[in-house]
Chains A and B, each alone.
Chain A
Amino acid sequence: MVMSDMESAPAAPARIAGVDEKILAERAREAASTRRDVLFDVSRLTVSYADVPALKGVSLEIYKNFVTAFIGPSGCGKSTFIRCFNRMNDLIPSANVDGTILYHGIDLYGPEVDSVEVRKRIGMVFQKPNPFPKSIYDNVAFGPRVLGWKKDLDARVERALRHAALWDEVKNRLKASAYSLSGGQQQRLCIARCLAVEPDVLLMDEPASALDPISTTAIEDLMHELKREYTIVIVTHNMQQAARVADMTAFFSVEVDEEQDRRTGVLVEYDATPTIFTNPGDKRTEDYVTGRFG
């Protein structure tokens, strides 16, 4: 268990347009006041599709009650990586995961571990809102029902919707189809759906990229709220978003093998968000966050 050993936030000016120094300073202060408990310990993780590695040799730690952001260019394996945390890659027949991810010290890919149990604790929100073709209520109740939690279903649904800051908007039409909601509301419904099964961790793969700015703000505010109880891992293409919500940021990049015509994702740098954005240790990170990439 590591107590905060955060490098003091560098005073260097923010070099990226749109990322507010004040926000970064706040991030740094917050991070400094939070203890770091390792929740996930990833070591030498390699994921291949049909024996072609898409992501290679990733090692990092994810801390409890932190928001951790993965950023990087398209195709560098962010989605691939985040899907490893709740074994969603098991559903892709050609995918193969090497290396270990320890969760509370247990290897997620150990022989005894049941992927269904893993997903109960580690929920996931997808890029495009994917509500079930059912009523709002049934969407949220699906998880508890599947787990056989029949008691106090109404209260549980309400709690989840309140948590997801959606209750007031839908409380009068719980029986309406989930498709009648706006995109932003649908995404919060999907978050509520995850919260209803009381997970430990929320994985979010570009949760706001299909949404308008106002809905995006709503989701970001929600993340701030939720991280008190949950650990959040988020993939984002939006660097301002990473700067606004994330405590830790991991930057991934693509290594191109010209000979074999292969593109493999690698972890370039992983650090406190202010460091990544103001004082990155790697040239590639700097190019990316300052927009000089590609």
Chain B
Amino acid sequence: MTAQDATAAAQPEPIRLRGERRRWGEDVVKGILALCALVSVATTIGIIIALVEPSIEFFREVSIVDFFSGDRWAPLFTPASFGIQPLLVGTLVVTFWACVVCLPCGLGAAIYMSEYARPRVRNVLKPALETLAGIPTVVFGFFALTFFTPLLQDLGLGVNVFNVLAAGLVVGVMLIPVVASVSEDAMSAVPQELRDGAYALGSTRLQVSTRIVVPAAISGIIASYMLAISRAIGETMIVLIAAGGIAKITFDPREQSQTMTAFIGATGIGDIPTGSIEYKTIFAVGLTLFVITFAMNMLSIRLVRKFREIYE
């Protein structure tokens, strides 16, 4: 057998490296997946259109200056008044009391999980926190109204049946897992060598936690704070249930007060006519809410990215 024959036998058919046909299926699949991705883009665009269009109409009827400088919110009364300040103050006070709870406790929980807890404890804590984060807000609202407020009353704080304090504190409890999990992510990304170096110099765990880990993870922690504040501002059910329905400017947490979200919820429930000014207020307030939370979210996203860049 000659060498030529051997080659011929081994290579009976000519080599073809072209695709048998163009792989249309591959393109179709990619197209379908891209369409899925477009759903989220459409959602954002939809939200913006949904908010902006009626808001423009609203501001044709109500001057934007009156809207932001007015201190009386009474859209359903005659004469109607559209000063959003009471809603902003209500939101601010609720957010403040939520922060009093969730910022320190969330950070503390994060430090505990990342620096103190043994792996086994952590493996129990993380899902437990997840579960806490999964409790519906309507349940927290019920809790604030029927347990927390009476408790505060029993303590002799003289709180109203509907009050900002109970609502704010419970929102804070709800947000502990949010702060804890984002902060903990940031802390566990801090390289072990940094800690080892400090321990080698004889630092205590307290010093390593507060002087090494927290500063190193600071942008992640701030991001978690931003996120929590944004969530507090956007929380609806707890305040709708427990903080009352009267929009007024008060910084006394024992009083009732209405937030932006509670107003939207309370007004949106009713079957108000589409073209009416009441209907449009929902969107004007919603737009204000969206812009505020959007700004905070973007800041938070930025900080998280910055953090990732440093350590990854």
A residues engaging B (CB < 8 A)? 1, 3, 35, 37, 103-104, 106, 108, 110, 112-114, 116-118, 121
Contacts and interface: CB of A to CB of B under 8 A. Distances in A.
A118 B18 CA distance: 9
Contact of B17 (A1, A3, A37, A114): A114
Contacts of A110: 17
Interface in B13-40: 15-20, 23
A117 B16 CA distance: 8
B7 A118 contact: no
B298 to A, nearest CB: 28
Nearest to A3: B3
A114 B3 contact: no
Interface in B157-207: none
A37 B7 contact: yes
A106 B15 contact: yes
B19 A116 contact: yes
A41 B3 CA distance: 20
A114 B15 contact: no
Contacts of B18: 112-114, 117
20 contacts: A1-B3, A3-B3, A35-B3, A37-B7, A103-B17, A104-B11, A104-B15, A106-B15, A106-B17, A112-B17, A112-B18, A113-B17, A113-B18, A114-B19, A117-B17, A117-B18, A117-B19, A118-B17, A121-B15, A121-B17
Contacts of A118: 17
Contacts of A1: 3
A108 B7 CA distance: 21
B3 A108 contact: no
A287 B61 CA distance: 87
A103 B15 contact: yes
B89 to A, nearest CB: 52
B52 to A, nearest CB: 37
B5 to A, nearest CB: 12
A121 B16 CA distance: 10
Nearest to B4: A1
Instruction: Give me the 9 closest cross-chain CB pairs, A-B, nearest first.
Output: A114-B19, A104-B15, A113-B17, A117-B17, A112-B18, A35-B3, A106-B17, A118-B17, A114-B18
Contacts of A114: 17-19
B161 to A, nearest CB: 58
A90 to B, nearest CB: 14
Interface in B102-152: none
Nearest to B26: A116
Nearest to B7: A37
